[in-house]
Amino acid sequence: MRAVYLDNNATTRVAPEVVAAMLPCLTEDFGNPSSVHDFGATSRLALKEARERVRALLGAAFREEILFTSGGTEADNTAILGALEATDERNEIVVSAVEHPAVLALCSHLERTRHVKVHRIPVDALGGLDRARYRAALSRRVALASIMWANNETGVVFPVEELAEEAKAVGALFHTDAVQAVGRLPIALRGTAIDMLSLSAHKLHGPKGVGALYVRRGAPFRSLMLGGNQERGRRGGTENTPGIVGLGKAAEMATSRLRGDAARMRALRDRLEASLLGQIQGSFVLGDVERRLPNTSAIVCEGAEADAIVLLLNRVGVAASSGAACSAGSPAPSHVVRAMSVLAAVAAGATRFSLSRDNDDDDIDRVIETLPLIVERLRARSHAPETAVASRSAEPAYA
């Protein structure tokens, strides 16, 4: 049975073309980009080409605005810490309540250790940002607003261009974690008020452990990694040339394929949703279906826990994810689901299907054929008193 991979918001398959582009950097073209000899020059050229490809994907004005990092997490951390340091008379940060842990964990840390005031802006039941609360939090005390472009659990898209304008009006910097948006939505940074943007290669068919931070020319910036003069003195450490070249190739492919891939994913995703919602009573899509990534679907099935669904789907060869983070065997809904305050979703969690350009109709058919039965089975169990306790324990209960 062929495995069906529908967890592309967690990570994507490295495209074969990306592997092919990386191979020379792992073999003959191993030079240090800082070296003066030809080995160095070859690597420098490869970095330049990759930077240009990422610039093009983002619609940024200048290649020098792209800073390579070890991934989305480092890009987010660099943006937030750098903004605080560069504007040290300002000591407040504005974020949404549904940011990735790469942002939220750092904010909590800064609150505890540096007495930074963090405004966590709530979302409504559709996952949309409370715009009035956002505006109210912005002031001359705010160093940075950091709002994600698209949410990783629901796919809900925030109006970051408008939010950036509002931040700019009070002199605050604006950063967006666009890890889920890059390669899935058209992006044109030139002319926007966005100062910084994070992306990660492994979410767009590139390798893990590499990403980039866009820093608008002229925006105040402080390095996170202090060391050599790599990346124009903005990030010390010998460049991850194979990874960066892989990111560049992935960016080039995303630029040329974006529209077609997005349309295909959207059609598959919409067919999946229409069929599941039609077959499964008491099921619904979590989040604003109109303002969403084309590849993501978070489905709530009342009375059937998403964690259990994910385990049973895995047995029929389908890789999906539950918004729930399992801690010590007790499934609790994620901060994103809780922030939306949809009762049925908080109780059962949401099953996330996230597609890529690699998915096809057969993949969707597998879910359509199996999920309704899985939900039926779980609901029957939760109604049978003798299994109610067992179904709360870990994996073997669903044997």
Active-site residue numbers? 326
Q: Min. distance of Cβ 66 from ligand PLP in angstroms?
A: 16
Nearer to ligand PLP, 198 or 230 (CB): 198
Buried b (16+ CB within 10 A) or exposed e, 71-98: bbbbbbbbbbbbbbeebeebebbbbbbb
Instruction: For 320-354, give the DSSP string.
Output: -EESPEEETTEEE--HHHHHHT-HHHHHH--EEEE
Tell me which amino acid residue 117 is.
K
**d(Cα 84, Cα 78) in Å, to the nearest integer?**
10
Q: Min. distance of Cβ 243 from ligand PLP in angstroms?
A: 11
Q: Min. distance of Cβ 72 from ligand PLP in angstroms?
A: 2
Nearer to ligand PLP, 33 or 71 (CB): 71
Nearer to ligand PLP, 72 or 183 (CB): 72
CA 291 to chain centre: 16
Nearer to ligand PLP, 243 or 333 (CB): 243
Task: Report which of 75, 67, 77 is spatially closest to residue 232, judged by C-alpha positions.
Answer: 67
**d(Cα 289, Cα 211) in Å, to the nearest integer?**
29
Q: Min. distance of Cβ 376 from ligand PLP in angstroms?
A: 32
How many C-beta atoms surround the C-beta of residue 232 within 10 A? 8
Q: Min. distance of Cβ 265 from ligand PLP in angstroms?
A: 16
Nearer to ligand PLP, 96 or 152 (CB): 152
C-alpha distances in Å from residue 246, one per residue of 16, 40, 121, 201, 211: 10, 18, 36, 8, 10
Instruction: For 108-133, give the DSSP string.
Output: HHHHHHH--EEEEE-B-TTS-B-HHH
**d(Cα 247, Cα 196) in Å, to the nearest integer?**
18
| DSSP 8-state symbol, 235 | S
Nearer to ligand PLP, 128 or 282 (CB): 128
Instruction: For 353-398, give the DSSP string.
Output: EE--TT--HHHHHHHHHHHHHHHHHHHHHHHSHHHHTGGGSSGGGG
Q: Min. distance of Cβ 264 from ligand PLP in angstroms?
A: 21
Binding site for ligand PLP (CB under 6 A): 71-73, 100, 102, 148, 152, 177, 179-180, 200, 202-203, 211
Nearer to ligand PLP, 203 or 366 (CB): 203
Q: Min. distance of Cβ 5 from ligand PLP in angstroms?
A: 16
Closest residue (Cβ) to ligand PLP?
A: 72
Find residue 66's DSSP bridge partners.
214
Order across the sheet with 66-69: list the strands.
66-69, 211-215, 196-200, 173-177, 142-146, 92-96, 117-121
**d(Cα 296, Cα 277) in Å, to the nearest integer?**
15
Q: Min. distance of Cβ 181 from ligand PLP in angstroms?
A: 9
Q: What are phi and psi of 146, to 5 degrees?
A: -125, 105
Nearer to ligand PLP, 42 or 78 (CB): 78
Task: Report which of 320, 306, 302 is spatially closest to residue 379, judged by C-alpha positions.
Answer: 302
